[in-house]
Amino acid sequence: MSERSHAAPPAAPSAPRPATPRGTSVCDVICLDLDTAERLRRQLPPLATRRRAAARAGALADPTRVAIAWALAEGRELCVCDLAWVLERSQSAVSHHLRRMRDAGLVDYRRRGRTVMYALTKVGAALLAAARTSPTAS
């Protein structure tokens, strides 16, 4: 267990910290668990990796795309026509959302004759599973 360091911020203010809005969780003093903080800073993934992760998460940040992912998780593999029927949306709207999800690596597709079948990737399934189990704000 590392020891907590109570250090002044780099530019220590001369006046007391202003009051924060009620319910805001901020420390009243600057205190660091320096060993842990430095270890975590060194372990942060590169910015490019964090941007890809944010893009993937953002690709599921739409109720229609969540519904598409949900339907694909339950139906395993569906064509745009099926998804449009399930979501009560136009095929072009569903296709637009699928393109965004495909660009982010959340869905994959294959041709089956004259139809295109979509399925969640492992990344898409994992992201949906995380979203399904996330606690809701009260």
- Over the stretch 34-54, which tens digit does the pLDDT of each residue have? 888 888 888 888 999 888 888
Residue 117 confidence (pLDDT): 94
Domain ranges of the chain: 49-133
State residue 20's pLDDT score: 53
The pLDDT value recorded for residue 56 is: 85
CATH match of 49-133 with 1.10.10.10 = yes
Distance CA(68)–CA(128), nearest Å, equals 10
The Cα-based distances of 29 to 11, 24, 32, 38, 39 in angstroms read 14, 14, 10, 19, 22
Token pair of 9, please?
């911020």
| pLDDT at residue number 138 | 45
Record the pTM.
0.69
Low pLDDT (below 70) residues in the chain: 1-27, 134-138
Distance CA 25, CA 17 (A): 14
Q: What is the pLDDT of residue 108?
A: 95
